Amino acid sequence: MTYRKILALSLACTLAFPVTAFAAKDEKADKATDITLWTYPIGSWGDAATVDSLIASFNEAHPEINVTVEYLDYTNGDDQINTAIEGGQAPDIVLEGPERLVANWGAKGLMVDLADLWTDEAKEAIYPSVEAACKSNDGIYYEYPLCMTAHTMAINKDVFEAADAMQYIDEETRTWTTEDFKKAVQAVYDSGQENVGAVYCAGQGGDQGTRALVNNLYGGTFTNPEHTEYTANSEENIKALELLSGMDGINFDASLQGADEINLFCNGTLAMAFCWNVAQEKNNLENIAFDVLPMAFPTESGEPQLCGGIWGFGIFDNGDEAKIEASKTFIDFMANDEKQVVESVKASSYWPVKDIGNIYEDDELMTEYSTFVDYMGDYYQVVGGWAEARTAWWNMLQQIGSGTDVKTAVEEFTTTANAAVAQ
């Protein structure tokens, strides 16, 4: 072969290569799938810089999927999603809990069945109580979980020490009895702290705290074990509400929601907070000038049953199979990739829903709060009529605060909530 022929062949190959490369690149671009993730502020999953970093890790493994993020809050987030649903523009993925993904949008037939993510391996690894919360009563999985926590209450330890009220607390287990709770509140009140705690009821924000307080005091329950009926009208719950409404230093406040109560606790106005968890302490470290002592809710039995939080991913059924599969790929990577799941959970400031080792080994604060995960009780937030029941709950507390007979108000709540179940 002559030099000229060799040169011509070489030039032909050189020219052919970029054409092939560009064709491959265009082909891959054509296959790219765009999906949307709407996330409530679960820890730093509400922080754009953190989420951008998580998505960058995802795109290293899956450059063919583009993820656009919308950040929601708990004031307007539900309205934004409901408006999007009505307009046929629902997000592909939502990061939230079973009460929305399973009991609300899932129950309305708006979500994708995630059964294929719930492999035998996943079912074996994820805690049974978490798995149960992620599926409907008829066994459809509308959520794939990422993280969990147990909500607590907290006290201003400085104020309690000054009032000689620490004698009523088991500081090692972070528990106290109902009788000791009564004594502690009275001691703090007598020391000059007029506002010891607030039963906030301006809206549903933070209502897990007031529910846990009422249910724990005398061992009442919010629903039956099957999650098919509201049972707040039990003798135990009525007794608890009568106790709270008659206590010095405990005020039913219709001007406050959970976030307002947290602010008043952090600035020292209140000596205790019922709306608390580790994220609240982390978020408010710079605003607190006293020693916070997280506590389980007081119980007559000495065995607290804390309300839990479970957060994970759900997929709206927008009728696009490519987007649904891309969304499942995203969820699988964030929640199941051995390396990534640690970072995904840490971003939430909560705990993993399966045993992946102590991911907070060097974090003193997270280690302190890990005590409460063992106290997590029944996850009843998947009962039917949940949205209506939440509204009826704070309306009931407002009625009690304004002088309505406790039993009358509780019976009205139960009737309203159970009517919503039947719809």
| Percent of the chain predicted with pLDDT > 70 | 93
18 within domain boundaries = no
Q: Which of 367, 185, 353 is nearest to 294 (CA)?
A: 367
Mean pLDDT, rounded, for 208-214: 97
What is the per-residue pLDDT across 136-157, written as a single tens digit (0 to 9) for each?
Answer: 888 999 999 999 999 999 999 9
97 within domain boundaries = yes
191 & 113 share domain: no
b/e sequence 221-234, b meaning 16+ C-beta within 10 Å: bbbeeebeebbbbb
pLDDT of residue 331: 98
163 & 44 share domain: no
DSSP per-residue codes, 34-103? EEEEEE---GGGG-HHHHHHHHHHHHHH-TTEEEEEEE--TTTHHHHHHHHHHTT---SEEEE-HHHIII
What is the per-residue pLDDT across 106-124, written as a single tens digit (0 to 9) for each?
Answer: 999 999 999 999 999 999 9
User: Tokens 């032909």, residue?
Assistant: 12
Give the domain range for residue 186: 152-305+385-422
169 within domain boundaries = yes
Beta bridge partners of 141: 135
**Residue 229 pLDDT greater than 50, yes or no:** yes
Mean pLDDT, rounded, for 360-380: 91
Calpha distance 301→307 (Å, rounded) = 17
**Residue 28 pLDDT greater than 70, yes or no:** no
Q: Which of 407, 381, 358, 356 is nearest to 134 (CA)?
A: 381
23 within domain boundaries = no
115 & 166 share domain: no
**Residue 74 pLDDT greater than 60, yes or no:** yes
Q: Are residues 350 and 311 in contact, defined by beta-carbon separation less than 8 angstroms?
A: yes
Average pLDDT, the chain: 92
Tokens matching residue 72: 């929601």
367 & 390 share domain: no
Tokens matching residue 378: 């029944």
pLDDT of residue 30: 57
220 & 297 share domain: yes
41 & 94 share domain: yes
Calpha distance 149→327 (Å, rounded) = 25
